[in-house]
Structure 1
Amino acid sequence: MPVNILYAATPGKWETYQPTLTKALQATGLDFDLRNEFDPEAVDYIVYASNSPLQDFTPYKNLKAVLNLWAGVEGIVGNKSLTVPLARMVDKGMTSGMVEWVTGHTLRHHLGMDRHILAKPGEWHPVAPPLARNRRVTVLGLGALGSACATTLASLGFDVAGWSRSAKSIPGVTCHHGPEGLRAALEHGEITILLMPNTPETENTLNAETIAMLPRGAIILNPGRGPLIDDAALLSALDTGQVGHATLDVFRVEPLPADHAYWTHPKVTVTPHIASETRPDTASEVIAENIRRGEAGEPFLHLVDRTRGY
């Protein structure tokens, strides 16, 4: 009997994922049937994204696992009809994209590139930036993406601190954890990067109180999740100079409304949720490996802890 796999992910992406998933599944040696329509009771695995029309998993009586195509699972983790294992996406292509975006914007602000790129004729600023070892960077969130970014920045010589909910150990990175460690991490962050999941506990991690803990003039980079920041508090801190600049890739409402204050604020850079995305070829390999594991009776990779929400 073949393994029946339902693609129920991002609408309109079936034609993109069908060939890459097929190739990756063929490489496992499994006998499989991959479709975007199935009798629910015949389905063994679902390749999923939370913008799918499929929201009720009750009819899928023989379902073994749901394999998310996105790193974020906030759109599905609370679905009470889903009782089987849920795996989030940890994809080397997505990780590479995030590392490149974070490194690029960290270097942009560290080196003061805007001053020279935007200089008017005759403006001459012959002041060299400090070396990376003299720049303090903080990464909030030390999951797969945060750890990769922190490691890369440390390898470039930056003085990197990280913060996570539970204790972590990363070579070259000073790791803090828990509520008591957050202040130390924030006080370190001349450049502060947000890479936490979106959960009730992480919403508004940067608010008026915590923004005040940052060094004056700190740079904020948010390629993680929009709700991690209290927008009103950030705008106020930008106006007072407590925050020197914010480069934001994610927002509470996307696309960011044209009348939002971020678009016109002189100390804000908006990028349109492009820091990283799931790459079909490498993501398909992760999906195929998890299905192989499920059929072999091996533990699934990247399982979501429902109690934590990620």
Structure 2
Amino acid sequence: MASASAQLHQAPPGAPSVAGPGQVLLHCNWLNKQLWFDQLTAAGMPVAWPEDIRDWSSIQYAVGWNFTPEVLAKMPGLRAIASLGAGVDHAMRPGLIPPGVEILRIVDPLMAQRMATWVMWAVVNFQRKMDLYARAQAERRWDKTIENLKPWDNGEVRVGIMGYGVMGQAAAGLLRAAGYDVAAWARSPHDSADIKVFSGRESLRSFVERTDVLVCLLPLTAETEGIISAQLLTWLPRGAGVVNAARGKHLDEAALLAAIDSGHVAGAVLDVFATEPLPADSPLWAHPKIRITPHVSSITDVPNAVAQITENYQRLVAGEPLLRVANKSVGY
């Protein structure tokens, strides 16, 4: 007898039909996982939770996040994995994905806009010393000396964005439109008529040395893991700020704490962490110069993502080339 959840896997009356081989695995433990299931089902995809898969060998398309080797080993016919988010580092661990299996990204302008807005807030928070104003409010203290009656104007703030992909370009565009002095760093050369884009490891130090607010939006790869190291933090001008909305493993958290406590780095705004959820005993929580958000800088827009995931499923069934395929050789 089919389980109650298996009965939900049938597309509702009137849903568009997507003829395809077997079920589509939905592998997700997010808080909104039922929303993903419902919207993918409404789009006509025959999604099923792992416990409701009838024939693992028939699965050619899987959707999800943080697949395990054990789950992947059950699907010998797998041809493509659709990520539920813009990042694909969860699927790029060495040896995880079998050869010949494509990894599909989500590319969403709305997600980029959300990220750009969060980055703008983080820069302004640091620039205008909003944490100090919040503390003064909590103490019922009317304090106009926090900025010494002379705000640090936008054109005086040198923002450096690490990563110049979709997210990085959106953040750079918004900051530049507001008058900030913006530069970017990428692993490979980029053409930009609007800002200077440093590229390659040989230019990383020069990029960091001209940066008052360092923003990390890099993809996580073997080359970028740990890139915000103790050494890199010493290259920042004294009093600079650090913003990380990429992946927690980009940042040496202990080195950041030491740099802040020494006075070299003035503060940080962090959205991502090496361990998530951030453990309750982490010293980051209570540090007065660190602002924390719980990995919410750019939440995936479910309807847009579902449309892209469904489109690629239809292309797979029709034998057409897949879109937004990640490059395994570079890790994103």
**Whole-angstrom distance in 2 between the partners of 1:130 and 1:16:** 43
- Report how far residue 225 of structure 1 moved: 0.9
Give the counterpart of 2:283 among 252, 261, 269: 261
Give the counterpart of 1:106 among 123, 141, 156: 123
Kindly indicate whether residue 82 of structure 2 is the aligned counterpart of residue 82 of structure 1: no
- Report how far residue 238 of structure 1 moved: 0.4
What number of residue pairs does the alignment pair up?
303
| Structure 2 equivalent of residue 96 of structure 1 | 113
Give the counterpart of 1:250 among 259, 272, 277: 272
**Whole-angstrom distance in 1 between the partners of 2:330 and 2:203:** 19
| Structure 2 equivalent of residue 29 of structure 1 | none
State whether residues 190 and 214 of structure 1, in contact with CA within 8 Å, keep that contact through their aligned partners in structure 2: yes
Corresponding letter in the other structure for 1:34:
V
How large is the RMSD of aligned CA atoms in angstroms? 2.3
Corresponding letter in the other structure for 1:82:
P
What are the equivalent positions in structure 2 for 1:98-247 lying under 5 Å apart? 98-119=115-136, 120-125=140-145, 127-247=149-269
- Report how far residue 9 of structure 1 moved: 2.3
Identity %: 33
145-154 or 54-63, which moves further after superposition? 54-63
**Whole-angstrom distance in 1 between the partners of 2:196 and 2:183:** 4
The change in CA–CA distance for 1:80 and 1:9 in structure 2 (over 3 A counts) is closer
**Whole-angstrom distance in 2 between the partners of 1:63 and 1:34:** 14
**Whole-angstrom distance in 2 between the partners of 1:168 and 1:190:** 22
The change in CA–CA distance for 1:38 and 1:143 in structure 2 (over 3 A counts) is farther
Unaligned runs of at least 5 residues, structure 2: 1-17
Q: Which has the higher contact order (CA 8 A, sep 6+)?
A: 1
- Report how far residue 177 of structure 1 moved: 0.6
State whether residues 99 and 148 of structure 1, in contact with CA within 8 Å, keep that contact through their aligned partners in structure 2: yes
CA offsets per residue over residues 93-127 of structure 1, 9 Å max, x none? 43232122111111222223333333252422362
The change in CA–CA distance for 1:81 and 1:145 in structure 2 (over 3 A counts) is closer
The change in CA–CA distance for 1:66 and 1:215 in structure 2 (over 3 A counts) is same
The change in CA–CA distance for 1:60 and 1:228 in structure 2 (over 3 A counts) is same
- Report how far residue 14 of structure 1 moved: 4.6
Q: TM-score, normalised by structure 2?
A: 0.83
Kindly indicate whether residue 286 of structure 2 is the aligned counterpart of residue 273 of structure 1: no
Corresponding letter in the other structure for 1:106:
V
**Whole-angstrom distance in 1 between the partners of 2:318 and 2:170:** 30
| Structure 1 equivalent of residue 38 of structure 2 | 19
- Report how far residue 171 of structure 1 moved: 4.0
- Report how far residue 80 of structure 1 moved: 4.1
**Whole-angstrom distance in 2 between the partners of 1:128 and 1:293:** 57
CA offsets per residue over residues 214-268 of structure 1, 9 Å max, x none? 1110010111111111122111110121100011111111221222211222211
272-281 or 74-83, which moves further after superposition? 74-83
Corresponding letter in the other structure for 2:109:
K
Unaligned runs of at least 5 residues, structure 1: 27-31
